[in-house]
Every structure is written in C-alpha cells, then in structure tokens.
Structure 1
Amino acid sequence: MVGIFPNESSYVRLVTAYLMEYAEDRSSSRAYIKEESMSALLPKEAA
C-alpha cells in the first residue's frame, strides 16, 4: 500500500465509502457500522 495512498486518512475515506455503499446495497436493516463509530472517523468540521 505504500505509494498508493498519500496518507492514512485517504485510505480510511476509501474504505469508509466502500463500506457505506455496501451497507446501502444490503436488503436487511442490520447496521454493521454504528453512527457513533462513524462520527469518530469523520473530521470535526464535517460533523
């Protein structure tokens, strides 16, 4: 992964976007990523 992502934040954004898209596509209503967990990953100014 060295050289692919400029920093850890860009990798976290990519994985988070993928997981959010995956969660939207699921037909069940189970939440695998809780809102509290996601808020810890997001920058303060976006919250």
Structure 2
Amino acid sequence: MEENINEGLTIYQFPKEHRKKLRTSNGIERVNREIKRRTRLAVLFPNTESALRLVTGIIIEIHEEWVTGRRYLDMEPLLKED
C-alpha cells in the first residue's frame, strides 16, 4: 500500500463533483441494466452474432447519448484550466 499511495490519491486531482462517479460502478451498472432490459425483449437469438449485434448497438447508442447529450462526466471545465 505504501508503494502505491500516489496512485491511490489520484482521485483527488479531479473536481469534487466527479469523485463519486469515478469511485463507484454506477455507470457500468446502468449500461448492464440497459443491456439486460433490451435482451429480455428479444428472448431468443438465432446465433451468437445476432446477440452481439444487439448488445453492440445498445452500447453505441449509450455512447452517443453521453457524447452528444447528457454527459456522465463533463470534462470541459478541466480542459479550460490548462
């Protein structure tokens, strides 16, 4: 633990409002819930590729929402400080 104290304290370099989002797994849990919800609707997949296409589409849709709409972490204030 003593050897990696700097890595452990890295979280404090981010703005206070980002820290909770960075230290929890809420973001990935939300993605997993959405995948589970959408795949339940399809129920049966004819093959692995069709399931992978659906999951990939869901992830791309979430990514686009985070990029263009509501952002999980807004890094703009950090970029302006430099």
Q: With the length of structure 2 as denominator, give the TM-score of the two structures.
A: 0.30
- Structure with the greater relative contact order (CA < 8 A, sep ≥ 6): 1 or 2? 2
More helix by share: 2
Paired residues, what number?
Answer: 28
Q: Give the number of the structure whose alpha-carbon radius of gyration is greater.
A: 2
Out of 6, 24, 42, the residue aligned to residue 64 of structure 2 is 24
TM-score (norm 1): 0.50
Distance 1:18 1:10 in 2: 13
Q: Does 1:8 align with 2:48?
A: yes
Divergent runs of 4+, >6 A: none
TM-align CA RMSD: 2.4
1:1-45 CA-to-partner distances (Å, cap 9, x unmatched) read 8x700000000000000000000001258xxxxxxxxxxxxxxxx
